[in-house]
Amino acid sequence: MHLHPSRPAACLLIALAAACAEEAPPPQEARTVEGECAEVYGGQVCTWATIDGSDKVTEFGAIIPLATIEGAPAEMEMAWPPAAQASLALPEAARTATGMQHFTVNWEAGGHPPGPYLTPHFDFHFYSIPATERMAIDCSDTTKPTMLPVGYAMEDPEVPGLGVLVGTCVPQMGMHSLPAGEMGSTDIFSATMVMGYYRGKPIFVEPMIARAKLLERASFELPMPVVEGAPADAPRPRGVVATYDPEANAYRLAFAVP
């Protein structure tokens, strides 16, 4: 008795088996998740994060519309401490993966000392502490960090009416460390990275960008300074990339996640 199927029948059985076999799911595409949004000077500023197909956060940042930049007032009443125009939580995925918690926008209509920064500019703070902890900063703790990034300095400016600001500490912000070469320059800055601290610990990174630079509608990058003595494998953003999107008429501030 012939019990073996013919060659055509065998091929048909194999084809049917392959068709019925469970197919592997296609790889997931990267997706963007949105955090909080707020209207700032006529534009919607939003936080966001990019998650790849394996659910890893690869980028986080904020969207800054040109409407916000163009709509910023030329004059503002002086206030101390300066109030943020927006305070927005980063997406939960970014908070969990990177430790960065929230983002604030500050508009400096007339700039601030020292000299290079006396030009209208935006301060974009990305904090690694909760907003409630940031709001509690009163600068009563004058502990400075034991180590600053290479080429950075932290000064104690004396401000009329306010006295000495140890570590350039601003209430509800923290201490500020800036590139030493810039602070003594006579040239007006265009964009720089500020490193922030309180109680001797790092708490924020701040792309500080002149309004004139943003109005160029051109993409640019700001590298993250290197901290001496930090572990080589310590997780840290590599820097910020500001990408101008002409269709959206907005900048996409993006920190890549190692």
Mark 32-64 as b/e (b = at least 16 C-beta within 10 Å).
ebebbeeebbebebbbbbbbeeeeebebbbbbb
Give the pLDDT confidence score for residue 134 in this predicted structure: 98
Residue 87 inside a domain? The answer is: yes
Residue 12 inside a domain? The answer is: no
Residue 131 inside a domain? The answer is: yes
Which residue reads 């799911």 in tokens?
A: 25
pLDDT above 50 (res 14): no
Give the pLDDT confidence score for residue 17 in this predicted structure: 45
pLDDT mean over 117-131: 96
Largest CA distance in the chain: 108
Give the side-chain half-sphere CA count within 13 A for 166: 11
Encode pLDDT of 79-111 as tens digits. Answer: 889 999 999 999 999 999 989 999 999 999 999
Encode pLDDT of 177-228 as tens digits. Answer: 999 999 889 999 999 999 999 999 999 999 999 999 999 999 999 998 877 6
Query: Which residues span the domain enclosing 248?
Result: 25-256
255 φ, ψ to 5°? -100, 125
d(CA 215, CA 106): 17
Q: What is the mean pLDDT of the chain?
A: 88
Look at the chain and report how many structural domains it folds into.
Answer: 1
d(CA 86, CA 90): 12
pTM confidence score: 0.86
Give the pLDDT confidence score for residue 160 in this predicted structure: 87
Residue 95 inside a domain? The answer is: yes
Write out the two tokens for 227. 């901290």
- Considering only residues 239 and 18, tell me which one the structure prediction assigns the higher pLDDT: 239
pLDDT above 90 (res 8): no
Give the pLDDT confidence score for residue 66 in this predicted structure: 98
pLDDT above 70 (res 11): no
Residue 211 inside a domain? The answer is: yes
- Considering only residues 115 and 141, tell me which one the structure prediction assigns the higher pLDDT: 141
